[in-house]
Amino acid sequence: MVFLRFGLQDPSDEPKYREILQGYHDCCRTCVDFLLRILELLNDPEKKRKPQLYSGVVFLLTRHVAEHFDAIAVLASEGCCEACKVHLRSAFEASLQIRYLLEADSEQRGVAYHVATVHQRNRIDRQLMPGSDFGKELRATATKGSMEAEIFATLDPVDYAARIARREALLTESPYAEVNTEWQRLHKDPKRPPPHWYQLFGGPSSVRKLARRFDMLFWYDLIYSSWSGNVHAGDALDKVAPDPDNPAGSALYPLRHPANLWAVCGLVAFFTEQLEQLLSQHFLEKHDRDALNRHWQREIPERFKKSQRKINVPWS
């Protein structure tokens, strides 16, 4: 089995190749800048919006999408298509959660996100706390001189019990107490995985059901489900290709290849526009929505057009 390197048959094509990759990068990065502009508008102190937990969660989830699209821009500039799947998948899941937050009962759902986060952080602290069952089990795997033992040795001293107690006290206060009661109801068996935050109060119990709720099952199956192998290392055999010099043999795909990056850019632009429409309608005044629309028309279409150029280069 040979390792195929991605290369250009004619070295003089290098400038054109780099130009196309730059187009992929510019499209994705412009979408990131557009999302950051939305965040600036949402965070405008002159708007004097009423402080609400859910709007803060929406703000941070939008930042999450922008962060992963920014990673895609970096990968695209180097012709790395496969690694983009992880980031598209995460951004898609974040966008579904934003939709759910804004659908109804937004403040209660925002609180649910906070409650689930508190339980997640407490779970991690219990794993690190030396005296807990989790902590003892974890440290039992760290033999003397191992990398695990070195990591434990570098951890700053923390009063994990006090930190957990502070968080648990928070969950007894309004508005967290009622939501925490619901979380506890769904998590009676500590050996089972905790509920998703959006599962509380009769919400969907899986990402797939969340996607179906918003008529996005097509995108779930295309992006989330079909690319789970890439996230969970289940697609290793997909990296085997026919050997171009031996029809009966096989070879490995290269680590970097730009195939389908044009499609990745299309998805980044599509989900950016979808998210902008959702956030604008919910949070922004008409003059801000109009300004964003002008921004989009000025910055995105031309860069999107350049990002749709395909690189047709054989394996070499």
| pLDDT in the model for residue 10 | 75
Whether 147 is covered by a domain: the verdict is: yes
Is the pLDDT score of 220 beyond 60? Answer: yes
| pLDDT in the model for residue 230 | 86
Number of domains in the chain: 1
Give the Cα separation of 197 and 183 in Å (integer).
Answer: 8
What pTM, to 2 d.p., does this model score? 0.92
Q: For 105-125, what is the mean pLDDT?
A: 97
CB 62 within 8 A of CB 38: yes
Radius of gyration of the chain (CA): 23
| pLDDT in the model for residue 2 | 62
Is the pLDDT score of 315 beyond 60? Answer: no
Whether 316 is covered by a domain: the verdict is: no
Is the pLDDT score of 86 beyond 50? Answer: yes
Token pair, residue 246, equals: 């031996």
Whether 195 is covered by a domain: the verdict is: yes
Whether 159 is covered by a domain: the verdict is: yes
Whether 198 is covered by a domain: the verdict is: yes
Alpha-helix residue ranges (DSSP H) falling in 7-49:
14-42
Burial class (CB in 10 A: 0-12, 13-18, 19+), 150: exposed
Residue 231 or 30, more confident:
30
The band of 243, judged by pLDDT with boundaries at 50, 70 and 90, is confident
| pLDDT in the model for residue 127 | 86
The band of 240, judged by pLDDT with boundaries at 50, 70 and 90, is confident
| Least-confidence region, from 67-81, 223-237, 265-279 | 223-237
Q: Which long-range contacts (CB under 8 A, 24 or more apart) does 246-254 make?
A: 249/1, 249/2, 250/1, 251/1, 251/2, 251/3, 251/4, 251/315, 252/1, 252/2, 252/3, 252/4, 253/4, 253/315, 254/3, 254/4, 254/5, 254/6, 254/315
Residue 54 or 313, more confident:
54
116's CB contacts (< 8 A; 6+ apart) are: 183, 194, 195, 196, 197
CB 179 within 8 A of CB 170: no
- What domain range includes position 99? 2-307
| pLDDT in the model for residue 11 | 79
Q: For 73-95, what is the mean pLDDT?
A: 95
264's CB contacts (< 8 A; 6+ apart) are: 24, 28, 72, 76, 81, 84, 88
Q: How far is CA 79 from CA 242, 275, 309, in A?
A: 21, 26, 13
Whether 6 is covered by a domain: the verdict is: yes
Whether 152 is covered by a domain: the verdict is: yes
What pairs with residue 251 in β-bridges? 2, 241
CB 100 within 8 A of CB 108: no
Percent of the chain with pLDDT over 90: 64
Query: What's at 27, amino acid-wise?
Result: C
The band of 316, judged by pLDDT with boundaries at 50, 70 and 90, is very low
Whether 51 is covered by a domain: the verdict is: yes
What pairs with residue 2 in β-bridges? 251
Phi, psi of 254 (to 5 degrees): -70, 160
Residue 311 or 64, more confident:
64
Token pair, residue 274, equals: 């979808």
Give the Cα separation of 19 and 182 in Å (integer).
Answer: 54
Burial class (CB in 10 A: 0-12, 13-18, 19+), 62: buried
The band of 149, judged by pLDDT with boundaries at 50, 70 and 90, is confident
Residue 229 or 76, more confident:
76
Average predicted confidence (pLDDT) for the chain: 90
pLDDT digits (tens, 9 = 90+) for 4-45: 666 666 778 888 889 999 999 999 999 999 999 999 999 887
| pLDDT in the model for residue 9 | 67
